[in-house]
Amino acid sequence: MKLTLTLDYELGEGFLSPHLDGLRSGKAVGGRCTACDRVALPPERTCHCGAHEPVAQLLDGAATVLWRTTGADGDAALVRFDGVDTLSLARLQGFVGQTRGRIAADPGAGLVLVPEDAA
């Protein structure tokens, strides 16, 4: 016997809500650990020091491209945001040899960088 079960539910954004709202409006919002001051982007629920529940930290949104690749859907990069202790993955738009970028607004809450001089 085969049964089909359909579920209809909605997941909230939880502790990532400030970060995702920031991405939608072109702002970088990381998470700062209240125990060791480590800043992560995207925010981490649990810091490597073991503390929980980071506080939202507004960042200036500037980043350095460390490594990039080109795929069928465009360019992506491993980046380090200024003032952040972790690395992030970002989609690149309009980069032609630049190594510095700034976060851009994305309605889908993706992490998108444009060249610093275009922001």
**Neighbouring-strand partners of residue 102:** 62, 114
- Say what the pLDDT of residue 23 is: 96
pLDDT at res. 119: 60
* Rounded Cα distance, 38 and 64, in Å: 19
Q: For residue 64, is it within any domain?
A: yes
pLDDT (0 to 100) of residue 74: 93
**Residue 68 lies in domain:** 14-118
* Residue segments in the chain with a per-residue pLDDT below the cut of 70: 119
Instruction: Kindly state whether residue 3 falls inside one of the protein's structural domains.
Output: no
In a domain, 4, yes or no: no
With respect to residue 66, please indicate whether it lies within any of the assigned structural domains: yes
Output phi, psi for 20, to 5 deg.
-70, -40
Per the domain annotation, does 98 fall within a domain? yes
Q: Please check whether residue 92 lies inside any domain of the structure.
A: yes
Q: What letter represents residue 42's amino acid?
A: P
In the numeric block, which tokens belong to residue 28? 């970088």
Residue 8 lies inside a defined structural domain of this protein: no
Give domain status of residue 85, yes or no. Answer: yes
Domain count, the chain: 1
